Amino acid sequence: SQTIHQWPATLVQPVGSPLSLECTVEGTSNPNLYWYRQAAGRGLQLLFYSVGIGQISSEVPQNLSASRPQDRQFILSSKKLLLSDSGFYLCAWGTGLPNYEQYFGPGTRLTVT
Amino acid sequence: AQTVTQSQPEMSVQEAETVTLSCTYDTSENNYYLFWYKQPPSRQMILVIRQEAYKQQNATENRFSVNFQKAAKSFSLKISDSQLGDTAMYFCAFMKHGGGATNKLIFGTGTLLAVQP
């Protein structure tokens, strides 16, 4: 069965510091991968998606970037965090055809101070 | 652009009772997918149920069922025999069919459901 991991689970970082969040998927190959952000009391917003190694598409212009160095690894980064980057970050993998279901990791709670 | 609206910020139900969560959406697409996700206090997003717009039959997964009204653009979730473990935030989500690689999920703002003992 497929499993998706995220770390760290919780992170507190000062403004201006760098960020690296990691997501890995097990049990499937060449998955579509997604980074979402959930602000407090709100739904999820898609930040980035990837259909393969080195292939990244951005949905929202912002202070963040993403990379996919390996087939089942997806990384969310920032060179300098802003207060507005605080939130809950969720990685997901998608089954694609025919059901288009997406399954989420446990998430990372990021607080920028 | 597609939008998803959940007009009930909070709901409460007694254990073993039935509750219905509402969701409406706006789209000009004819073919799409609709989902309900559950987010318990652990904050893990869990897929509850999926509905394909081209299917007239309402989806059912154990105690969870949907009432899909395509013309009205309505997609409600019914939870039967509510259990304490159903306490969670519930999100309705839309995905355009044939969206290519994106397969972007568009989420509503959620309904917080509390199951009372």
For residues A6 and A21, is the Cβ–Cβ distance under 8 A?
Answer: yes
- Residue B42: CB atoms within 10 Å: 10
Q: What is the pLDDT of residue A61?
A: 67
Q: Give the model's pLDDT for residue A1.
A: 81
Test A51 with B109 for CB contact under 8 angstroms: no
Which residues of A fall within a CB distance of 8 Å from B97? 100
| Shortest alpha-carbon distance between residue A31 and chain B (Å) | 11
Between CA A74 and CA A66 the distance in angstroms is 7
pLDDT for residue A73: 96
pLDDT band at B102 (very low <50, low <70, confident <90, very high): low
Task: Return d(Cα B26, Cα B2) in angstroms, integer.
Answer: 5
pLDDT confidence tier of residue B9, bands split at 50, 70 and 90: very high
For B112, other C-beta atoms within 10 Å of its C-beta total 15
Element of type H or E holding B47: strand B46-52
Which one of B42, B44, B109 has the shortest CB-CB distance to A43?
B109
Chain B, window 53-112: residues with a beta carbon less than 8 angstroms from a chain A beta carbon: 91, 93, 95, 97, 101-105, 107-110
Chain A residues with CB inside 8 Å of B35's CB? 101
The partner residue sitting opposite A46, judged by closest CB among B33, B43, B105, is: B105
Q: With contact defined as beta carbons under 8 Å apart, do B91 and B82 qualify?
A: no
User: Euclidean distance between the first and final Cα of chain B, in Å?
Assistant: 41
CB contact under 8 A, B50 and A88: no
What pLDDT is stored for residue A17 in this prediction?
97
Query: Residue B108: which of A43, A88, A96 has the nearest Cβ?
Result: A43
Mean of all residue pLDDT scores within chain B: 93
pLDDT score recorded for residue B99:
57
Is the pLDDT at B101 greater than 70, yes or no? no
pLDDT tens per residue, range A70-100:
999 999 999 999 999 999 999 999 887 766 7
What is the reported pLDDT for B1?
79
B49-90 pLDDT per residue, tens:
999 999 889 999 999 999 999 999 999 999 999 999 999 999
Spell out where A14-84 has E strands: 19-26, 32-38, 44-52, 55-58, 65-70, 73-78
* Band of pLDDT at residue A15, cut at 50, 70 and 90: very high
Contact between A81 and A112 under an 8 Å Cβ cutoff? The reply is yes
Mutation target among A57, A102, A103, A109 for the B interface, most CBs of B within 10 A: A102
CB atoms within 10 A of CB A63: 12
Supply the pLDDT for residue A92.
Answer: 94
Q: Degrees (nearest 5) of the Cα angle B45, A5, A79?
A: 100
The Cα of B68 is separated from the nearest Cα of chain A by a number of Å equal to 17
